[in-house]
A and B are shown apart, each in its own frame.
Chain A
Amino acid sequence: MEIKKLLFVTKFEGLCYDALNTLLMLRHAALEHVIFLNVIERDKIAMQRGSGYLKEKEVKLKETANIRFIDWAENLFEMGLEVGAYMEVSRLIPEILKVVKKESPDLIVIGRSHKGRLKQLYAGSDVTELMRRTEVPILVFKHMMEDNILPEKLFDRPLFATNWSETDKKTVEFIKGLKNVIGEIHIMHVVKESALKSPNAHEVQKISKTERKRLEDLCDELEEAGINARPHVYVGDPQKQIERAAKEYQASMIILGSSDKAAILERWVGSISKNIVDNSVFPCLLIPGKKDI
């Protein structure tokens, strides 16, 4: 599965050209086409007491977006990429879904605000909603440092956390399509403490050996596809261990699959993928499951 077309969703203040720039290495994979989407939230120009519909404000916001898009588009056109742009007054998720239907992108890139906890929760729910309603992989950009420096080589050292779900098969195929941009991938599985029922060391080692063997087989599969891969087994709370592994191996991003079941569950108890997207400092590539599962 190759990334030929990506949809870059921006509110400008949250996801800017530096983020787009780090994605341009995907040209070495298969990237040909970038679609920009700027959604102006309705509440910014909604009817207000005494002022009505703020048409002038809408025009101004659209023109501001247009100037930025033209500037970005010129840079991309000069590289020989195909570029398209949408500027809509709407609600974010329905508009993204509408553009996904029209353009069939291979990847959606969306930013997550770093401006305070409330904003984070709001953006996190956007991503959750999107995960629930599309099968297209979603890259959630983060501001990794306080000064917002993004990793120069975003796809160079990804960490793929597998839980051996059906969605992970799709994830593996997606990773294979990135073989020209991945330097080395770290693949991990977290054994939950609850799975280690026996206090017997031999039993624990046996579980670890089994999981390691599965990871090694997966690494072999990826190496056959031309990607260097290293396996890692961790034990404990998945969210904490994934974050820990990402730091230990200086990951450039975290790759996670997410099933429909997880999306439904997270509405009630929160899923691992949602928690990582909400709390991790690393960019997250989320691979949604098939919607007919």
Chain B
Amino acid sequence: MNKKVLVVDDDQDVRSFVVTVLEENQYIPLVAQDGIEGFEVIEKERPDLVILDVLMPRGSGIRLYRKLKTDENLNQIPIIMFTGIALRSFLKSQKALDEFKGGEIPMPDIYLEKPVEPEELVAAIKKKIG
């Protein structure tokens, strides 16, 4: 059975790019354009993988990432961060939030800094869900 992959990104061009890559590789694409909509789709569809942008309106990827990782029903869903935000800044933000809000959130499975070639994205997806 084909696996479902959700792409959460506010940029229409990026969503189209990822959806095309997913379809070409026999995955079922799901889309959301911000963190709030992304969480709704995740709860409803339970995707096998989430490809998540960081800088978005109405709930950033950082907030959604932490929400998923602290939800015992959803924290096993692998996440590929796919963003223009540098990994260094992402790691610092997690550290700051860990200190501020308590707890320690695990790091993302894979972190891809935009732009990436389709092959790189496919390799990352295959690595997580085959």
Instruction: Verify if B89 is at the interface (C-beta below 8 Å from A).
Output: yes
Q: Could you tell me how many residues of chain A have their Cβ less than 8 Å away from some Cβ of chain B? A: 19
A17 shortest CB reach to chain B, Å? 15
A68 shortest CB reach to chain B, Å? 11
Inter-subunit contact B84/A70 (CB<8 Å): yes
Inter-subunit contact A84/B60 (CB<8 Å): yes
For B96, give the chain A residue with the smallest CB separation.
Answer: A80
Inter-subunit contact B57/A77 (CB<8 Å): no
Q: Could you tell me how many residues of chain B have their Cβ less than 8 Å away from some Cβ of chain A? A: 21
Inter-subunit contact A77/B58 (CB<8 Å): no
Contact of B57 among A75, A78, A80, A103 (CB under 8 A): A103
Instruction: Verify if A131 is at the interface (C-beta below 8 Å from B).
Output: no
Which residues of B have CB within 8 Å of A75?
A: 89
Which residues of A have CB within 8 Å of B55?
A: 69-70, 73, 83-85
Q: Is the interface of A mostly helix, strand, loop or mixed?
A: helix
Inter-subunit contact A102/B57 (CB<8 Å): yes
Bound complex: CA A79 to CA B62 (Å): 13
Q: List 17 A-B contacts (CB under 8 A).
A: A66-B84, A70-B55, A73-B89, A74-B85, A77-B62, A77-B85, A77-B93, A78-B96, A79-B96, A80-B96, A80-B97, A84-B56, A84-B58, A84-B59, A85-B57, A102-B57, A103-B58
Q: Which residues of B contact A (CB under 8 A)?
A: 34, 54-60, 62-63, 84-86, 89-90, 92-93, 96-97, 99-100
Q: Which residues of A contact B (CB under 8 A)?
A: 35, 66, 69-70, 73-75, 77-80, 82-86, 99, 102-103
